[in-house]
Amino acid sequence: MFLWDWLAAALSYLGLYHKKGKLVFLGLDNAGKTSLLNRLKFGTMATPRPTGQPHCEELNIADMTFRTHDLGGHKQARRVWREYLPAVDAIVFIIDVTDSHRFQEAHKELQGLLKDELTSATPLLILGNKIDDPRAAGEFQLRTAFGLHGLTTGKEPRTLPSGQRAVELFMCSVKEKQGYGEAFRWLAQHF
């Protein structure tokens, strides 16, 4: 069963048919943004070249349509992130959990998104990718390094108080098809 079939069943259960949304995939270069997009769209794991220019894909899951933008993660690409933010319904921020040397750099970018007034109500899904690697940081270590303790809103389905932004961290492996299905189900509940 492909991931989108599994998500389709979940979306049906949640009553999210005929819903449309615009997502933006953000994170530093080599975090797995394009790999995740390819896995979701085609069900394959290809080793992509670094994203040189922003590109858009449309994902159809059941009767839900996601228009996704992969903006790249190198320093020059990060300059255009803000231009896309006003038009999105949710942000997916991907972190390479094997690259602890870049946690501070990724933390700075994530904090910029969290503090940006343009996205103050936009749900933010944080994916800690590459948990299949023995060098991977654990969830507690990632929450600590990124200052997420007390900031996230919980993985269980619930209605948030008015004005509270949905933010949550899910650990995943795009390569091994682990964790991101639950993460997207969570995200679908919040927009």
Q: How far apart are CA 86 and CA 40, in angstroms?
A: 24
Q: Is 133 annotated as belonging to a binding site? A: no
Alpha helices in the chain (DSSP H): 3-14, 33-42, 75-78, 81-84, 103-115, 139-145, 180-188
Q: Is 68 annotated as belonging to a binding site? A: no
Q: Is 129 annotated as belonging to a binding site? A: yes
Q: Is 51 annotated as belonging to a binding site? A: yes
Q: Is 34 annotated as belonging to a binding site? A: yes
Q: Is 144 annotated as belonging to a binding site? A: no
The answer to whether residues 3 and 177 touch, using CB atoms and an 8 Å cutoff, is: yes
Q: Is 28 annotated as belonging to a binding site? A: yes
Q: Is 122 annotated as belonging to a binding site? A: no
Q: Is 73 annotated as belonging to a binding site? A: yes
CB-neighbour burial class of residue 100 (10 A; exposed 0-12, middle 13-18, buried 19+): middle
Q: What angle do CA 151, 153, 159 make, to 5 degrees?
A: 150
Strands in 64-70's sheet, in edge-to-edge order, are 55-61, 64-70, 20-26, 90-96, 124-129, 167-171
Annotated binding site for GTP: 27-34, 73, 129-132, 174
Annotated binding site: 27-34, 51, 73, 129-132, 174
Annotated binding site for Mg(2+): 29, 34, 51
